[in-house]
Amino acid sequence: MKKIGIMTTGGDCSGLNSVINRIVLGARNRGWRTFGIIDGTDGLCHMPANAIELTPESVPVEMARMAGSFLHNGNSGIMNFETAIKMGRVDQFNKNLKRSLATLHLDALILIGGNGSFSLAYKNNDIYSKLSLVCIPKTIDFDIPLTDRTIGFDTAVNELVKYCDQVLLTARSHHRWFVVQTMGRECGRLALNAGVAVGADAIIVPEIKFNVDDLVEHVRCVPRDYGIIMVSEGITLRGHSGRPADMISRALTAAGITNRAAFPDYIQRSGDTTAADRITAAKMVTCALDAIENRETNVITALQDNVCKTVSLADFYAAGDISRDPNIPDLCTSNAYIEPDDPLLDVATAMNIYIGEMK
């Protein structure tokens, strides 16, 4: 009988519990036992590992729609890794994690994470050398290369749209513009998708240069005195400092345009998981369990042209834009961004949405 482990890492998002529930049910149907590692990497920092056996009763299907993680994600694991780097003890830190993981006697581990977690696993794959490692991508940022979808992204877009729908009502009442700041780090996909869905009049993303004077002029030309300007948290504005939405808001105020900055913040990580994310979870879990049965390791599940398949961690890492991780010293992560030929950019332009200096 196989024993498989589950670990959720990094920032939380809707869909994690859907993945966990589907893994437990799918594993049971194959006659396997499932163990959840509590608090992600934090749980592996314990000796023995902080883990519990999971059953359909402990991860009930009616709660699988909820945001957050049954297993919690943990934060101090990253801090411990940073400390190990500063003290020159990365090898010892990894040995401790490997030893702790060995106490569980697992045949496989399913790591549910983002590009930081996957890049870290790729760079330190010796930790998982005694078992099969399969990664399932989840992130509201949708910044993971080689997959057409990540778990949690669709729900985050929907939560942003619901937020903006309500903001638009007060915007109309008070003849006021709202500058809404989204999450997404250096990737603007969340802002782009939510902006198009809500009918924003401008979408500012890190991948596309913009001119603040052109933005102001565009807003002036809109035939109403209210609306939404969607701004990704990763943008910069030369000569200005502070939060992106505040920077844009100040520029609009200086031009005599009544506005307010708005910050939906962590509601983007919450909300009942949408049907699209639940279906993605089911597809990726089935693919992950098949990979374990086929003795694959060091792979991630990826949706490509609506077909779920596995790609190697090495291919994932090589396919992205490699940059230094701001939270983990000495770690370079593989990132995906909005491509210049993204069809949604053309859609936005056709809707008369200002998106910056398109080439």
Q: Point out the residues that are catalytic.
A: 141
SS3 state of residue 99: helix
Residue 299, CA distances (Å) to 32, 227, 291, 313, 345 in order: 20, 44, 8, 5, 31
Q: Is the dihedral of CA 120, 122, 123, 126 positive or negative?
A: positive
Cα-trace Rg, the chain = 22
How many C-beta atoms lie closer than 10 Å to residue 267's C-beta?
A: 14
The answer to whether 302 and 315 have CB atoms below 8 angstroms apart is no
- E strand intervals along 29-85: 33-37, 51-54
The answer to whether 326 and 349 have CB atoms below 8 angstroms apart is no
The answer to whether 334 and 118 have CB atoms below 8 angstroms apart is yes
The answer to whether 73 and 36 have CB atoms below 8 angstroms apart is no
In DSSP terms, 202 is beta-bridged to 229, 354
Helical (H) or strand (E) element with 191: helix 189-198
- E strand intervals along the chain: 3-8, 33-37, 51-54, 108-113, 132-137, 177-182, 202-204, 227-232, 259-262, 299-304, 307-312, 321-324, 332-335
